[in-house]
């Protein structure tokens, strides 16, 4: 959630960020806290609300997530952004299973 909020605020400003989350909650009936479980909806709504700018925001969100976990990002044009997030979850879960090897990914 932090990466989404940061990306929208950095690119479009805090007021737009607040308006987006208000829209997300009132028009879609999805609370902000539910967002991690509704990634397809989130990225679709970014595209719906911001057009081509939604694609830019999606890329920025994914880049921020990967950077925060120090995980290299291999960007593939056209790959759904939710897939990147799911792949990152798998990587992090694998690291938890092998903590001695999870110190830093290269």
Tell whether 106 is covered by a domain.
no
The residue-averaged pLDDT of 61-82 equals 94
- DSSP one-letter string for 49-91: HHTHHHHHHHHHHHHHHHHHTT------TT--HHHHHHHHHHH
Tell whether 12 is covered by a domain.
yes
pTM: predicted TM-score of the whole model, two decimal places: 0.81
Asked if 72 and 105 count as a contact pair (C-beta separation under 8 A), the reply is yes
CA distance 74 to 5: 23
CA distance 82 to 44: 10
pLDDT (tens digit, 9 = 90+) per residue, 15-53?
998 998 898 889 888 888 898 899 999 999 889 888 999
Tell whether 86 is covered by a domain.
yes
Q: What is the mean pLDDT of the chain?
A: 88
Domain range holding 94?
Answer: 2-101
- Number of structural domains found in the chain: 1
């Amino acid at each position: 959630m932090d990466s989404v909020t940061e990306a929208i605020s950095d690119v479009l400003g805090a007021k737009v960020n607040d308006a987006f989350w208000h829209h997300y909650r009132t028009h879609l009936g999805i609370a902000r806290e539910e967002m991690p479980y509704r990634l397809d909806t989130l990225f679709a709504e970014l595209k719906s609300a911001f057009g081509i700018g939604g694609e830019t925001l999606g890329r920025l969100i994914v880049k921020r997530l990967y950077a925060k976990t120090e995980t290299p990002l291999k960007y593939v044009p056209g790959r759904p952004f939710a897939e990147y997030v799911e792949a990152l979850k798998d990587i992090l879960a694998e690291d938890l299973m092998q903590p001695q090897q999870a110190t830093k990914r290269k």
